[in-house]
A and B are shown apart, each in its own frame.
Chain A
């Protein structure tokens, strides 16, 4: 049950929602469409569902061109961000709806409908709510009912539009895990839209990062985190320090910073570079002989980790300045405790991993060490 999207383009009066999207999703995958609001991810999802029609390009489901086919031929189950449950029907009737509206010849008998609905309600662990009405349920319960309703028609594809976007943080975390388990059980090809990178990393087996109507990168959560293809992906996924400056053999020069590059750094000089360093890729060492010395400015405890803001160390007696460039370092709780850092202290740092892009160049010129 594969999905192929070929060069899909959709323009509105004053902006381009989809700008030549190419995407292939294999049978049984669970893929996240990740991007900021307005990046076109929902338009792409709705185009695959058949609720919107693109200006050009093709959508193939299982190799068949479905670009102009109406919704009912696509065998898609859709879950809406705000549930879209039918408030005037009981939970049971909501789930039964897709079976009841079938043409008479394909409609299962009443007993079969009952059996199927209760089976689905069991699957989402909410059979005890069958006689309630949607307004009486919590957000998490509603979304699970919405999922049961979408699955009732035995879709070949499951499309979810920000399925957890309207839920509380705790419920959201629980439902993420639950969706993953459900997918492992059912193996229906699933595509979900989210703007929450953590959610995408946790749930999806592959992530499609979108920005301004284009796909920036497609890859596993690890690949996207470790080797981002574009500056956008670097900053959108996870937190990162961004410095702008000049690469020289052995080190990187930016404002007050002169960061030694890890082994195998560049040998050429290159100006106008954006360098990206993840906060946990910087190591703090109490070593006066390290070339890069910093002052600890702030320490923020975050629970399992600590965030430390450092600025370039100045000479003895020289006061720190407010406009000093700041680097953020993240240490595990144990590492922080072992170091016993003090604010104002002078320590050495080592960068273990960083990558850079020429500021104005095409994304393909990315490099990393």
Chain B
């Protein structure tokens, strides 16, 4: 594993001509920076500028508004349910796929990627079909006092579906590259499977796992499409932060909409910083691990 990674991270041999012509180098760099500025930095600046257009007080009012606070709470609850569940699922799935050969293994690998290839709106519609009032099981759940659609369970289900691949996708290649030898050694020395997981497997995958968890969390908090379909947009009840931004915007409360949007943008920036720190730590771990 270590050798593959160190080879992959080594700079590729440069073509003797590439980069020796200054205008090619500067031209390409300028192009990349321009695209970056236009599509990433500019929108972020626009969000901030719009949010503070009517001053600090209006910004604070918008983000401490009763409905905004409720949307924040709902988003946090959703993430708190979905991220641990998908972390558990991700570890279990990665373990199965990386450590065992069984019929249907490649099918499972493909299925894990399904949420990435299906449009989130379709994912939401699927849950409406199953649990909606006209759906297969919707009637039963509603009559038993446990509505799924237009309620928290629906939002959680849709978010679970959309964020399912993140942890597993991060861990499968990592665990495959690491191989099972250290785990076998642990068992040979008399450790139980449980003990082996906590003392050997988890310490070795912790940075990859954290990376997956952070991406999963970012998506769980930011998901719009699938949640939008199942939530019903009931203010103070089933409105998550991204949906709240949309509602405010549609009501021409532009400043308030952008103020709430800064919360999501802030989450994105925190995610990016954490992601870079983890990538750096992971890189260091690999470098230390290579002979």
Q: Which residues of A contact B (CB under 8 A)?
A: 49, 51, 71-72, 76-78, 80, 82, 84-88, 97-98, 101-102, 133, 135, 139, 149-150, 152-153
Contact = CB atoms under 8 A, between A and B. Distances in A.
A178 to B, nearest CB: 20
Contacts of A72: 187, 190
A63 to B, nearest CB: 22
B184 A84 contact: yes
A149 B288 contact: no
B189 A87 contact: no
A91 to B, nearest CB: 14
A71 B188 CA distance: 6
Contacts of B289: 87, 135
Contacts of A80: 181, 184-185
B200 interface: yes
Interface stretch (B65-73, B191-199, B247-255): B191-199
B290 A101 contact: no
A84 B184 CA distance: 8
A78 B288 contact: no
Nearest to A97: B189
Contacts, number: 61
Given A133-B288, A135-B289, A84 B190 contact: no
Interface of B is mostly: helix
Nearest to A133: B288
Interface string B166-200: 00000000000000011011111111100100011
Nearest to B184: A51
A72 B186 CA distance: 11
A7 B188 CA distance: 24
A102 B184 contact: no
B195 A78 contact: no
Nearest to B178: A87
A87 B185 contact: no
A51 B189 CA distance: 12
Given A78-B185, A87-B288, A97-B189, 8 more contacts: A71-B187, A78-B184, A84-B182, A86-B186, A88-B203, A97-B199, A101-B191, A149-B189
A135 B186 CA distance: 18
Given A86-B200, A88-B204, A135-B291, A101 B192 contact: yes
Contacts of B186: 86, 97, 101
A159 to B, nearest CB: 9
A82 B181 contact: yes
B49 to A, nearest CB: 47
24 contacts: A51-B184, A51-B187, A72-B187, A77-B188, A80-B184, A84-B182, A84-B184, A84-B185, A85-B182, A86-B182, A86-B185, A86-B199, A86-B200, A87-B182, A87-B204, A97-B191, A98-B190, A101-B186, A101-B191, A102-B190, A135-B290, A139-B291, A150-B188, A150-B189
A128 to B, nearest CB: 20
Interface string B251-291: 00000000000000000000000000000000000001111
A168 to B, nearest CB: 12
B289 to A, nearest CB: 5
A139 B291 CA distance: 8
A88 B186 CA distance: 13
B189 A98 contact: yes
B190 A78 contact: no
Contacts of B290: 135
A106 B189 CA distance: 14
B190 A153 contact: yes
Contacts of B204: 87-88
Nearest to B196: A101
Contact of B188 (A49, A87, A88): A49
A301 B199 CA distance: 54
A278 B195 CA distance: 54
A61 B182 CA distance: 25
B192 A76 contact: no
A131 to B, nearest CB: 15
Which of B185, B186, B191, B199 has its CB near the most chain A CB atoms (within 10 A)? B185
Given A135-B288, A135-B291, A101 B189 contact: yes
Contacts of A86: 182, 185-186, 199-200
A192 to B, nearest CB: 15
A71 to B, nearest CB: 6
Contacts of A51: 184, 187-188
Contacts of B189: 97-98, 101, 149-150, 152-153
* Best-surrounded residue of A77, A88, A150 (most CB of chain B within 10 A): A88
Contacts of B185: 78, 80, 84-86, 149
Interface in B50-91: none
Contact of B195 (A76, A101, A149, A153): A101
